[in-house]
Amino acid sequence: LLVEIACLITDRPKAFVVERAQAANIPVYAATLKAFESREAWEEAVVAYLEPYTVDYIVLAGFMRILKKPLLSAYPNRIINIHPSYLPAFPGKNGIKDAYEAGVSETGVTVFYVDEGIDTGKMIAQEKIAIDPEWTIAHLAYAVHAVEHRLYTQVLQQIQKEFSGKEEINDI
């Protein structure tokens, strides 16, 4: 996969991923939302930070915020996220727990383009996971995360192949 990580953006400056990025010499922008007057102001600062980079796509991972107009307008149909359920079932921050507690026989993983809603953007790829009735929630989480890691990588590889006019894409 010929993807250059341009930088890491996080609203959790103490997250372990910050240390990992710094160890790999990846620039980091880490600022809490509380440091800004609004979420939109935080996003405007992110857009300004990204301006000198050539960012083709923003790839979210573990980012549990609803994006607003500043980022969505600056990167239309170029922000990708992953969700631990077979959307539209079980949107929101507790997809695995919600599926487990609902007692459904299957759930899944969804990769999608972010829009202004909660897990409502155009779907890129989905994969179902059969739930063994003997599983604990930990078993289900393990199965979902394994599919997430594989499916996200496959989707990003496919997007790279389809990306016209460039040998590589840059993401955050």
Could you report the per-residue pLDDT of 113-139, keeping only the tens digit for each? 999 999 999 999 999 999 999 999 999
87 has a pLDDT exceeding 90? yes
- Residues 27-32 have a mean pLDDT of 95
Domains detected in the chain: 3-171 (3.40.50.170)
- Indicate if the alpha-carbon torsion angle 108, 111, 112, 114 is positive or negative: positive
98 has a pLDDT exceeding 60? yes
Here the tokens at position 7 are 């930088």
Instruction: Show which residues are catalytic.
Output: 83
The pLDDT > 70 percentage for the chain reads: 94
172 has a pLDDT exceeding 80? no
What is the crossing angle of helices 137-162 and 95-102, to 10°? 130
- Residues 32-58 have a mean pLDDT of 94
- Residues 84-102 have a mean pLDDT of 97
Backbone angles phi, psi at 126, to 5 degrees: -140, 150
Here the tokens at position 32 are 């809490």
- The pLDDT score that the predictor gives to residue 63 is 86
